[in-house]
Chains A and B, each alone.
Chain A
Amino acid sequence: QVQLVQSGAEVKKPGASVKVSCKASGYTFTSYGISWVRQAPGQGLEWMGWISAYNGNTNYAQKLQGRVTMTTDTSTSTAYMELRSLRSDDTAVYYCARVRSIAVYDAFDIWGQGTMVTVSS
């Protein structure tokens, strides 16, 4: 079945970096984009950015520009999200999600299970 499986929970110190993986299966990875969304404890959903699995094009939310990098490895059908210079307010569950169609802009139809990232000294 179509699914996205994310890497496990992480605990990081302020100033460190974290890299979360998202492995796709059940569909042609390069035919869809992947977006990353995060959710701080008790809060709503925040879109972080998008990457085309076809050509690697990216677009990041303005507030994260310079701290986030999204990449893909088409040989393993895996997407990655790296966030640097972590702060306490980066503590959140991080989700990857598939963009529903080949169009750049569409809804997110498949979601990963989420990865908890805790930033604490």
Chain B
Amino acid sequence: EIVMTQSPATLSVSPGERATLSCRASQSVSSNLAWYQQKPGQAPRLLIYGASTRATGIPARFSGSGSGTEFTLTISSLQSEDFAVYYCQQYNNWWTFGQGTKVEIK
């Protein structure tokens, strides 16, 4: 099983600042990496797939990068609605999720 490790567990950021979230795979997943956002009481929402392609309707302030084992999600200027938990997911060999990064208001 491919293990996904996210860091940090919690990220405290002020509105308007940049947030950088990391995700590492235990073996190469090529570009088969997705990012999801989840708010309390809601289902996850797809943000990024193919490591860097924004899903339909996702604002341009969300960007993804990386390949192989190291990936990054960047939120360029945090808006109030962006405070949430973010998960990475590999789909190179079935599916596994990271443990999540909570982005909270500083």
What residues make up the interface of A, taking CB atoms closer than 8 Å to B? 35, 37, 44-47, 50, 59, 61-62, 95, 97, 100, 105-109, 111-114
Inter-chain CA distance A64–B43, complex, in Å, is: 22
Given A106-B49, A107-B49: A45 and B44 within 8 A (CB)?
A: yes
What residues make up the interface of B, taking CB atoms closer than 8 Å to A? 1, 32, 34, 36, 38, 43-46, 49-50, 55-56, 87, 89, 91-100
Inter-chain CA distance A35–B91, complex, in Å, is: 12
Inter-chain CA distance A62–B1, complex, in Å, is: 9
Question: Of the candidates B36, B43, B93, B100, which one forms a contact with A114 in the assembled complex, judged by CB atoms under 8 Å apart?
Answer: B43
Query: Is the CB–CB distance between A107 and B43 below 8 Å?
Result: no
Question: Of the candidates A62, A95, A107, A112, which one forms a contact with B46 in the assembled complex, judged by CB atoms under 8 Å apart?
Answer: A107
Question: Chain A residues with Cβ under 8 A from B95's Cβ?
Answer: 35, 47, 50, 105
Query: Is the CB–CB distance between B97 and A47 below 8 Å?
Result: yes
A49 nearest in chain B by CB position: B94
Inter-chain CA distance A104–B38, complex, in Å, is: 24
Inter-chain CA distance A113–B44, complex, in Å, is: 9
A100 nearest in chain B by CB position: B49
Inter-chain CA distance A62–B36, complex, in Å, is: 23
Query: Is the CB–CB distance between A109 and B46 below 8 Å?
Result: yes
Query: Is the CB–CB distance between B46 and A47 below 8 Å?
Result: no
Given A62-B1, A100-B49, A106-B91: A46 and B97 within 8 A (CB)?
A: yes
Query: Is the CB–CB distance between B92 and A45 below 8 Å?
Result: no
Query: Is the CB–CB distance between A44 and B94 below 8 Å?
Result: no
Question: Chain A residues with Cβ under 8 A from B96's Cβ?
Answer: 47
Inter-chain CA distance A111–B93, complex, in Å, is: 21
